[in-house]
Amino acid sequence: MPDQYRVAIVGSGPAGLSAAARAAALGMPHILIEKTDHLSDTIFKYQKGKHVMATPSNLVLRSDIDFEAGKREHILGTWDTQIGEHKVNVRLNAEVTGITGETGHFTIELKGGDTIQAEAVVMAIGTQGNPNRLRCPGADLPLIQYQLDDPGEYFDEHITVVGSGDAGIENALGLAADPKQNNTVSILNRRAEFARAKPANVALLEEAEREGRISVRRETNPAEVRANELVLETRDGTEVIKCDRIIARTGSQPPRGFVEDCGIEFTSEERSAFPKLTPSFETTKNGIHVIGALAGYPLIKHCMNQGYDVIEFLNGNADLKPADEPILAEKFAALPGNRSVDEWLEIFRANIVILGELSPLQMRELLLDSDVAAFDSGDVIFVRNDPGSSMFCIAEGSVLVETDPDDRSATVPIEQGSIFGEVGLISGRRRGSTIRAGEPTITLELSRTAALKLIATVPSAGRAVNRITIERQLLQMFGSGLTKEDVSELVEAAEMVEVRAGENVVEEGGEDKDIFVIQQGSMIVEKSLGEKPIFLSYLPAGSYFGEMAVIDGSARTATVKAAIKSEVVKFPGDAFLRLMEKKPALRERALSDMAARRQVNAFVEERKESFSGAVDMYSETAKFLVDNGIGEATDVLLIDETLCVGCDNCEKACADSHDGLSRLDREAGRTYAHLHVPTSCRHCEHPHCMADCPPNAIQRGADGEVFIDETCIGCGNCQRNCPYDVIRMDSVPPKKPSLLSWLLFGAGPGPGEASYDWRKKTAEKRGTEQAKLAIKCDMCAGIDGGPACVRACPTGAAIRVAPEKFLTFTKLVEDVE
Amino acid sequence: MASSADFEQAEKRRDTDHESFLSHKRMRWLKISVALCLIVITSYFLVDVEPRHNGGTWYGYTLGTIGVILIIWLSLLGIRKRNITEGKWSLKAWTSAHVYLGLALVVIGTMHTGFQLGWNVHTLAWALMMLVIVTGIYGVVVYATLPRSLSINMREMTRAQMVEGLAAIDRQIAAAAQPLGRKEADVVIAALEQDVFRAGLLARLTGKYPRCKTKRAIKAFPAGSLNKAEEKVSTLLARRNSQLSQIRRHMRYKALLEIWLFIHIPATIALIAALAAHIVSVFYYW
Ligand SMILES: Cc1cc2nc3c(=O)[nH]c(=O)nc-3n(C[C@H](O)[C@H](O)[C@H](O)COP(=O)(O)OP(=O)(O)OC[C@H]3O[C@@H](n4cnc5c(N)ncnc54)[C@H](O)[C@@H]3O)c2cc1C
Ligand code: HEM
Ligand code: SF4
Ligand code: SF4
Ligand code: SF4
């Protein structure tokens, strides 16, 4: 063992493995340090037999070890063999706890006290982080474990599960499932309620408790771990229980803290931020490099390429072009001017104001998730009411915004370097106006993910986008006649306010005089009439409120509160009044909006006196729908249970028009006043499912639908992230015999989704098994005639609606006969 | 570029007229059907055919042809329902037209016969048609009235959840029954072992299960004289009974909603066969 290695690579995921293999191939003195007793723990932990995907398919793999799509076992096996063949110097069971020193002589501290010296460090520890450890005396005893692979392998033990989330509950249920194992299972919850777990899991746990299969201890903490005992701290004092094994499932710590402790800076405070990196993956701590998922590249291919590259850079290869170079070159090929990739990157960075501070590496990453396009003077870039959540930047040229839908010639320009389309990005709503190129123009279109990442990681870009959004939203909302200069006072005074779901923004009777614009999310307007608050109306993103008190100086006449987590912009009322004085057109507009709103409120109030029952029902139904996600929906399936005969033709139609798998579960879901919200996608304005998709496979389509494209790798993140449980993981089944041969000869399983057995057996027989991927409702995009579920309902029970159209008095109380 | 025509169409859909198949498009098909009947009835009395109205006159042929076309089209609903093709069709509109035009057949078909009924294949076709229509009327009645009860009875539970709820109660009963005496234990076990889903048609339709062993078991634990273990089992049996009742009501509503299709569809097939025989025989003996 040399005194000092040229490079120490921490973490043996695809990134670390590839780096180590390159170092070995170059004969560079190296060590690969891995915490667990096997290579590549993240992939090791995938479900058995998982089909691992090799996306993006247009990216070439540049690595000394092989990787192609295939079963988890095959991939891990290949890597084990090849790492051996390359004589990579691996040290397993070595968790790095700290890195000190400077470039040229780092000291890497391992758990247990060993140290390793290296000139440079490559960190490839992924984003899984470490499970939270128990913090009580005895927490290092061997009876504690942080993962449970197979609950079936423990017999006759006293086992205590610590943790009240889904993972803990599922483990406890698994351990107690088979009475033959004869385990005595307890679960500890610090609190009285299981608030963090899914209701279904809590119900199962409570049932197991009633049946005496699991002992559930609420408001209880582990106080001390002993060899065969656990001391508990309960509300009524301490208690000692027998305990052979502890399974601690109290969440995990992201690796950020550890990385920062090594002296590495992140781009911002945001949870989604990544370490600041140079083009050669060097961090702000010279000599330490970060690659792979930790650097923000969550796909295996990216990770492996970076492993190769970082070692080449360390080896002094300055000419190495990143592996994504051809992809970028292809993107830029469509642009005029014959410039090289680096030249284009520089043009985009220098010309577009919000990109000014980006490093070349960030530029590359941004461009990979973006589209570039050239337009001729007059070409339409997008049309009013197109759905779209991407944001455009003008790299060269300028564009014209049509301010009046009926008059193409009424336009305002947006100049080079600025952005447009940001409203769709921020609010999740459709494009507000048509935009044309004003001269030959080159645009950069940032996908929603790329734009959000940019806003989160580059604070100055975030501020700039915000300012522009507020300004444009004001101009758009109050129509023509206003200019940037007119609203500048308001924009200056604007304040962004984040509101939690259910939080009041304006309170009935309040004396405050501010005016608000909903930038993200939605609001409900309520008024107390009698003892209960009555629902008056629903306000989607892009609406304003609070103008009544400002205009007529009265107290607030109703309460406005957030239907879901939202963002509103607050403007001082007096600035708005001044603007109204200057602009009579605006004044008129505001007054007429106000009159219309008053009318709706008066209508509901009036009804309250004569038809109190109907108003209560309207109010309760509206609240029920909002509680069930309609407040963030753009298009949601509802079933009127006074009409639904339970024929399930909606589900069958969905399956038959979508690869034989239904994307909706009619029976499941909540019901109020016979209005049923089945388990089916709401096409959220800001889809939770998009949050954490490694290949960025979830997109918003041309009809506003949220859909999953063919790059899905089946990781299941979206399924976990969707609060409405509408995504399922399944494999495309084999084709069924035709309807005619079923009708005439009874061939095949018939209309609708075939049974699991039929799908599995037939696929095996035909040898057409497919990987399990995420599937969800795509709103029947591309199918002429629209949603099949609605078209196939014989009674009219199934309808798809938009919240702002449905949450109205007439729609909710009309009686359907 | 998504066209704005698509958008308008989708917007209209999202603002959908939330109305049932019976009132679809302000009862368009009811109006059409009533008009059709009126025309047929008035023309029946206005048109003077010799020697008298029957299927064999030119007027009879006309009505017969309309009737056959209608019957064929009505039968195609079964295909439309299952053939999920692209296009702007809606099954609700189809059902609406089906119901009202189907009813018009009473008039068209009967006027076609000229009230010349007898014991022959022609009248068989008419009778089958009437059978299909009568079952159809029953169908519309249950479609219009039962969904509400079905929904109230579900109490936000899926069928699977109801069954799982029953299984959960059963597990508790099995555990709680351990300390019981032999006799009591036997009644409880008998109740648990009875297959809930093996129910005759009559039981399904009426929701009455006279041989229900759970009810019998409940009687074996009369209130007042119970020890602690028996008390517990008795409460659990009552819960089982109420869960069972929910499932049975669910099965009953579903059966009532579906039973008529078991006549409507086979009778349709028989009707088409009889119709074919009727037409062939008419032309053969001509
Ligand atoms: C369920 C699931 C399915 C997926 N499917 C696919 C797919 O099909 N295709 C695809 O391209 N991507 C897929 N991904 C994403 C992909 O697995 C990850 O992005 C990739 O593994 C990241 O590689 P990495 O090398 O950066 O880090 P990781 O693979 O996370 O490896 C990090 C390694 O570092 C070790 N380590 C961590 N901390 C320390 C420390 N302090 N000291 C020493 N060692 C440490 C860990 O034990 C681990 O072995 C999937 C992800 C998940 C969760
Ligand atoms: C001779 C006339 C008729 C014929 C041949 C006919 C035939 C059919 C057929 C083939 C179906 C499809 C059933 C299925 O596949 O599930 C059907 C369904 C139906 N019919 Fe008729 N029918 C006739 C008259 C009527 C009348 C008069 C009514 C009502 C008054 C009626 C009401 C219905 C209803 C409600 C359905 C169910 C629709 C659904 O659930 O999809 N039918 N009919
Ligand atoms: S899958 Fe879930 S999170 Fe995503 S859009 Fe649909 S309902 Fe929203
Ligand atoms: S669509 Fe879902 S399952 Fe597929 S890759 Fe994205 S997050 Fe993973
Ligand atoms: S809209 Fe289409 S994809 Fe979505 S649930 Fe209905 S049938 Fe299925």
Mean pLDDT of chain B: 90
Q: Which residue among A650, A654, A681, A706 has the greatest number of ligand 5 atoms within 8 angstroms of its CB, and so is best to mutate?
A: A654
The strand pairing partners of A801, in sequence order, are A636
Disruptive mutation site among A205, A643, A674 for chain B (greatest number of B CBs within 10 Å):
A643
Identify the pLDDT of residue A1: 59
CA distances from A725 to A668, A688, A713 (A): 10, 11, 19
Q: Whose CA is nearest to atom 3 of ligand 5?
A: A777
Contacts of A805 in chain B (CB under 8 A): 14-15
d(CA B79, CA B6): 28
Distance (angstroms) between ligand 3 centre and the Cα of A272 equals: 20
- Closest-lying ligand 4 atom to the alpha carbon of residue A729: 3
Does residue A382 belong to the interface with chain B, where contact is any CB pair within 8 Å?
yes
Nearest to A796 among B14, B21, B158 (CB): B21
Q: Decide whether A5-129+254-314 matches A144-252 in CATH topology.
A: yes
d(CA A35, CA A429): 46
CA A133 to chain centre: 27
Q: pLDDT tens across A297-322, in order? A: 889 999 999 999 999 999 999 888 88
Give helix B58-75 / helix B24-46 axis angle, nearest 10°. 160
d(CA A561, CA A525): 7
How many residues are present in chain A?
A: 817
Identify the pLDDT of residue B7: 65
- Closest-lying ligand 1 atom to the alpha carbon of residue A97: 41
Q: Is the pLDDT of residue B27 over 90?
A: yes
Does residue A210 belong to the interface with chain B, where contact is any CB pair within 8 Å?
yes
Element (H, E) at A601: helix A584-610
Q: pLDDT tens across A127-182, in order? A: 988 888 888 999 889 999 988 878 888 999 999 999 888 889 989 998 998 888 89
Tell me the backbone φ, ψ of residue A159, rounded to 5 degrees: -120, 135
Measured from the alpha carbon of residue A718, the closest ligand is: 4
Contact B23 A794 (CB under 8 A): no
Please count the residue pairs, one from chain A and one from chain B, whose beta carbons lie less than 8 angstroms apart.
Answer: 147
By C-alpha distance, which of A7, A33, A34, A61 is closest to A303?
A: A61
Task: State both tokens at B96.
Answer: 């609406």
d(CA B17, CA B23): 10
What are the residue boundaries of the structural domains of chain A, listed by start? 5-129+254-314, 144-252, 325-463, 489-606, 622-811
- To the nearest whole Å, the CA of A526 is away from the closest chain B CA by 23
User: ipTM of the predicted structure?
Assistant: 0.93
Does residue A92 belong to the interface with chain B, where contact is any CB pair within 8 Å?
no
Is any ligand 2 atom within 6 A of the Cβ of residue B102? yes
- To the nearest whole Å, the CA of B265 is away from the closest chain A CA by 13
Task: State both tokens at B277.
Answer: 């025989």
Contacts of A210 in chain B (CB under 8 A): 172
In this prediction, residues A648-673 reach a mean pLDDT of 94
Contact B84 A657 (CB under 8 A): yes
Q: What class does CATH assign to A325-463?
A: mainly beta
- To the nearest whole Å, the CA of A660 is away from the closest chain B CA by 12
Mean pLDDT of chain A: 90
In this prediction, residues A761-786 reach a mean pLDDT of 92
Contact B19 A816 (CB under 8 A): yes
Q: Is the pLDDT of residue A738 over 60?
A: yes
Q: Is the pLDDT of residue A817 over 70?
A: no
Identify the pLDDT of residue B168: 82
Contacts of A645 in chain B (CB under 8 A): 143, 146-147, 150, 257
Q: What is the CATH number of domain A489-606?
A: 2.60.120.10
In this prediction, residues A581-587 reach a mean pLDDT of 87
Express as a percent the part of chain B with pLDDT over 70: 95
Disruptive mutation site among B92, B149, B155 for chain A (greatest number of A CBs within 10 Å):
B92
Nearest CA in chain A to B143: A645
* Residue A700, SS3 per DSSP: strand
By C-alpha distance, which of A607, A574, A580, A579 is closest to A592?
A: A580
Q: pLDDT tens across A529-563, in order? A: 877 888 999 999 889 999 999 988 889 999 999 99
CA distances from A180 to A186, B82, B151 (A): 17, 47, 40
Tell me the backbone φ, ψ of residue B46, rounded to 5 degrees: -80, -40
In this prediction, residues B241-267 reach a mean pLDDT of 96
Q: Which is it for the CA torsion A474, A477, A478, A482, positive or negative? A: positive
Nearest CA in chain A to B164: A204
Nearest to A799 among B7, B16, B23 (CB): B16
Is any ligand 1 atom within 6 A of the Cβ of residue A53? yes
Q: pLDDT tens across B41-69, in order? A: 999 999 888 788 887 889 999 999 999 99
Contact A791 B90 (CB under 8 A): yes
Distance (angstroms) between ligand 3 centre and the Cα of A789 equals: 18
By C-alpha distance, which of A172, A364, A335, A207 is closest to A277?
A: A364
At A627, the pLDDT band (50, 70, 90 cuts) reads: confident
Q: pLDDT tens across A48-87, in order? A: 888 898 878 888 999 999 999 999 999 999 999 999 999 9
Task: State both tokens at A63.
Answer: 């690595």
N-terminal to C-terminal alpha carbon distance within chain A: 84
Q: What is the CATH number of domain A144-252?
A: 3.50.50.60
Q: What is the CATH number of domain A5-129+254-314?
A: 3.50.50.60
Does residue A725 belong to the interface with chain B, where contact is any CB pair within 8 Å?
no
In this prediction, residues B141-156 reach a mean pLDDT of 94
Nearest to A386 among B2, B147, B257 (CB): B2
Q: Whose CA is nearest to atom 48 of ligand 1?
A: A41
Does residue A704 belong to the interface with chain B, where contact is any CB pair within 8 Å?
yes
N-terminal to C-terminal alpha carbon distance within chain B: 63
CA distances from B260 to B20, B125, B136, B254 (A): 20, 19, 8, 11
Nearest CA in chain A to B12: A801
* Residue A232, SS3 per DSSP: strand
- Closest-lying ligand 4 atom to the alpha carbon of residue A713: 5
Q: pLDDT tens across A701-711, in order? A: 877 899 999 98
Distance (angstroms) between ligand 5 centre and the Cα of A739 equals: 20
Contact B159 A791 (CB under 8 A): no
The whole model's pTM is what?
0.85
Is any ligand 2 atom within 6 A of the Cβ of residue B103? yes
Contact A380 B87 (CB under 8 A): no
Highest mean pLDDT: which range of A27-36, A214-223, A443-452, B45-54? A27-36
At A601, the pLDDT band (50, 70, 90 cuts) reads: confident
Nearest CA in chain B to A635: B14
Distance (angstroms) between ligand 5 centre and the Cα of A646 equals: 17
Q: Whose CA is nearest to atom 20 of ligand 2?
A: B136
